[in-house]
Structure 1
Amino acid sequence: MRKIIVSIIVFLAFFGSYMTIEASSGFGWGYKKNSDHQIPEVGKYQEMLEKFGAYYADFSGEKNIYLTFDNGYEQGYTADILNVLKKEDVPATFFVTGHYVKSEPELVKRMAEEGHIIGNHSYHHPDFSVMTMDAMKEELETLEAAVAKVSNQKELKYLRPPRGIFNEQTLKWSNDLGYIHVFWSIAFADWNVDKQKGWKYAYDQIMAQIHPGAIVLLHTVSSDNAESLQKLITELKKQGYSFKSLDDLVLKDKLPEGIYGF
């Protein structure tokens, strides 16, 4: 019973506000989903992202996919997800919190050892838009130090803001601190552990939204995601998609031959 109560408290703390549209003094990341396999438009957010070098998709037109996972706490599925990624030689980025690093150091170590990128999701999962720059800096640096302590990844350069909340100020601050904001172009309600609907639901949600250059947000607490991942990767490879890392995207974006993304 105690374990169940703790899981509920952690769930509410980390994922309770993900669907917020406007929050605090910031914006909640969002867009209109489409089913025409195109990058969704993000309206007024696009100019802000361009200005500060943030990403939510790869605009090169190439059939690339970037898998990202948010890790606030562990439900027992991350190892299964890592097994599939290893088998299929697919890179991913895991955005972790301080709670996750503290409770699951061996999984964080394994992520890095198997070639995945560990991203910064903050230490305590706060709303950056109501914080000072110094407080935001402490959140990011504390998480980075925690990751460095348990893994061979000593620096973190990609940031996913807690609850997807951001504004122009937090985008600028992250740049000043050496971070690149990474949002997403595909997501669905996968984080509620009490409302999992089976692997086909996760599979269908992603396949309906898939598009060239997708940055996909998934949560490792989802049994649906863990069970569908192998099928998703297999089918998307058949359709000609390649799985890339965020490093590939950012490096490509800097090449002189053309502009990719922002």
Structure 2
Amino acid sequence: MKRFKTASACLLLVSLSLMPVQTLAGQVMKTTIDLRLREAPTTASETLDIIPKGTSLDIFSTTGNWAKTSYNSNSGYAGLKYLAPTAQSRMGVVKTTLNLRSAPSLTATILRTIPSYTPIPLYEKSGTWVKTVWSGTIGWVSLNYTKPIDGLPRMKTTTNLRLRTGPSTRYSILMTVPSGTPIPVLTTSNGWVKTWIYGMTGWMSQNYLTPAKFPILRPDVPPDWIIYYSNAKMEWSHTYPQDYHYGYPELDSHYRYSDGKVHLTFDAGFENGLTAGFLDVLKAKNVKARFYLTGTYLRDHPTLVKRMLNEGHQVGNHSWSHPDTVDLMADSMALVYNDLMRWENQYKAAIGQSPARWYYRPPSGIFSERTLGLVHWMGYTTELYQVALRDWDPENQLSPEVTLESLLNQTKQGSIVLLHVVSSSDLEVLGKYIDTIRAKGWSFALP
């Protein structure tokens, strides 16, 4: 998987901070009718030309429900409701049946209801809302229920494959997609995949598709489509939730795995003299774990970090300074990006090379779809957790007995277990916990 260029090329704070609010400017759209090009953004203005149906137009800017464009050397305005997205458009997909409203507010009038998994163009943003057009109606939808198509999982055609209007060979053929073409997966139904390609929505037989690596193409500056993920804050509740479901496989984010094994992980933001003891127990029990370290821990304790790696453990990115990344993201994507890149640069300075695998855990378990989208684009797998305790405060520890009982009650096959290296109770019971899990016939592993 491609990684970023190091050193100065990674310090993109200025360029990211100046990322403009997204509009239609720079996109290509096509006319859905024979459309009048007008001198001004109003139907009362003079008609400069008639643009034929199906004409692709470069969009320069928007004014209300009008798009500024040019045709036959004339510069003017075309009605946005009569323009459709093309293969070059910035697109999203609604995750559920979603109301299209007249303004960016839950109190605004409902204009239409968009069916789930429908592709829509993404125009300018306003807070947690985005302007779009669907079935000729211009309006606003909530970003909490949409996601950018560029961030969806990909599959690739293994043969020249027909794109159909529905999930069956009974449906009409829209076109034939060449072998080797990557497509985004909007949803699936009975062996068929709904996708959006070449400006069209359709279905393909999953029998002739194979998973494709994400992303297909990746520049060295975070793409603007990431801002179309919701930044609504989600976080772990430290009471074990039976219905806990914060896993986003399409963004390579997991709270458990399906391999039936138990996965030990440790978070470390500072050192209080216990980490070597945890490593001793893991070595004696022949268990490998993943340690999520802050950048300041990497900087201050390189000897312990090298011991982790030398004994077969892995080290993951836990941010530089343990901030609330959702709050940072609300201010600027650059703040989150540069915090993660500062960690990467410190790792390379301490170890002399990049990690063998790229793993990330959000500080305090706080994340949003947008932060997950950014770290996924950067090449990380996000590991959340299914098992956790209130064990991070050295001065307020659970008893060893309560700690062991809680860990055993929470752990299931496939669980990702979170412990903290500052916990004396965790250290005291770790060996017995490992032995008890193994007595059930379960095993420990790194995924």
Compute the TM-score of the two structures, normalised by the length of structure 2. 0.46
Output the CA distance in 2 between the equivalents of 1:32 and 1:195: 17
| Counterpart residue number, 1:81 | 278
Deviations 1:43-100 (A, max 9, x none): 5x34xx133121100134x2x1000000000111100000011111101000000221
Greater strand share, structure number: 2
Distance 2:258 2:243 in 1: 12
Amino acid corresponding to residue 126 of structure 1 in structure 2: P
SS of 2:402 mapped into structure 1: helix
The farther-off stretch of 143-152 and 120-129 is: 143-152
Question: Deviation string for 1:153-174 (max 9, x for gaps)?
Answer: 6225111011111111111111
- CA drift of 1:179 comes to 0.9
Note if contact 1:105-1:150 (Cα within 8 Å) is conserved in structure 2: yes
- Report the structure, 1 or 2, having the larger helix content: 1
Displacement of 1:32: 6.0
Q: 2 CA distance for matches of 1:33 and 1:198?
A: 18
Aligned to 1:109: 306
- Which whole-Å deviations, capped at 9, do the CAs of 1:206-235 have from their partners, x for residues lacking one? 011111111001001000011111111111
Q: Which residue of 2 aligns with 1:97?
A: 294
Contact 1:65 1:242 in 2 (8 A): yes
Q: Is the 8 A contact 1:30 1:42 kept in 2?
A: no
Determine the structure 1 residue equivalent to 2:251.
Answer: 52
SS of residue in 1 equivalent to 2:291:
strand
How many Å separate the matches in 1 of 2:401 and 2:307?
A: 28
Alignment of 1:180-199 (within 5 A): 180-199=381-400
Structure 1 residue 148 corresponds to structure 2 residue 348: yes
Aligned partner of 1:100: which letter? Y
CA distance in 1, matches of 2:383, 2:434: 22
Say if 1:89 and 1:111 are closer, same or farther in 2 by CA, change over 3 A: same
**Does the alignment pair 1:29 with 2:229?**
no
User: Which of structure 1's runs of 4+ aligned residues deviate more than 6 A?
Assistant: none
- Aligned with 2:243 (options 31, 35, 41): 41
Structure 1: state its 5+ residue gaps: 1-23, 35-39, 250-262
* 1:170 aligned to which of 364, 371, 380: 371
Q: Distance in 2 between matches of 1:153 and 1:67?
A: 24
Secondary structure of the 2:262 match is strand
What is the distance in 2 between the residues matched to 1:196 and 1:149?
34
For residue 102 of structure 1, give the secondary structure of its aligned residue in structure 2. helix
Identity %: 36
Instruction: Look at both structures and tell me which one has the larger radius of gyration over its CA atoms.
Output: 2
* Equivalent residue number for residue 244 of structure 1: 445
RMSD across aligned positions (CA): 1.8
Alignment check: 8 A CA contact 2:267 2:291 kept: yes
Asked if structure 1 preserves the Cα contact closer than 8 Å seen for 2:251 and 2:373, the reply is yes
Contact kept in structure 2, 1:108 and 1:147, CA below 8 Å? no
SS of aligned partner of 2:435? helix
CA deviation after TM superposition for structure 1 residue 25, in Å: 4.7
Q: Aligned partners of 1:174 and 1:71: how far apart in 2? A: 20
Aligned AA for 2:233? G
Distance 1:72 1:238, change over 3 A: same
Shift of 1:145: 1.9
Number of residues paired by the alignment? 213
Contact 1:125 1:162 in 2 (8 A): yes
Structure 2: segments with no counterpart, 5+ residues: 1-230
For residues 292 and 284 of structure 2, the distance between their equivalents in structure 1, rounded to whole angstroms, comes to 21
Structure 1 range deviating more: 127-136 or 203-212:
127-136
Aligned mates of 1:102, 1:212 — CA distance in 2: 35
Q: Does 1:160 align with 2:361?
A: yes
